[in-house]
Amino acid sequence: MGPNPEGLILYTTDGYMSAQLSSGERGPFESGDIFGGSTNEYVKAGRSYIAYSGPFHFDEKKGRLEHEMFVSFFPNWKGQRQVRLFEIDKDRLHLGPDHPMTVDGRPQTASLIWKRATPQL
């Protein structure tokens, strides 16, 4: 997602989560029509965005966090339940997969550091 990614991850008290992550360098489509982009615009947009939502499962005793994908921008993840390694450090949440994922044709392990958002009260 480049040097300046943007995004939000949300966890609700009733057990759902949503993650949205994008490159900070995304340009607008030439057309203002959400379904009117060129093939090249859609390819660029798709390669610079990750999103999924669904229930999350947390076992505090085991220190295990799982994200279950009800919906996902990457169709292969739909219906999956993926383990996330995590660490909480003050206002930061460190997240990563428990095993490498295929990215650009090779196995890679990436971790993310999410900073707590300022409450909108």
CA distance 43 to 60: 40
Contact 16, 55 (CB under 8 A): yes
Give the model confidence (pLDDT) of 27-84 as tens digits.
999 998 999 999 999 999 999 999 999 999 998 888 789 999 999 999 999 999 999 9
Determine the Cα–Cα distance for residues 15 and 90; give it in Å rounded to an integer. Answer: 22
Can you give the pTM of this predicted structure?
0.87
Instruction: Give every CB contact of residue 10 below 8 A, 6+ residues apart in sequence.
Output: 17, 18, 19
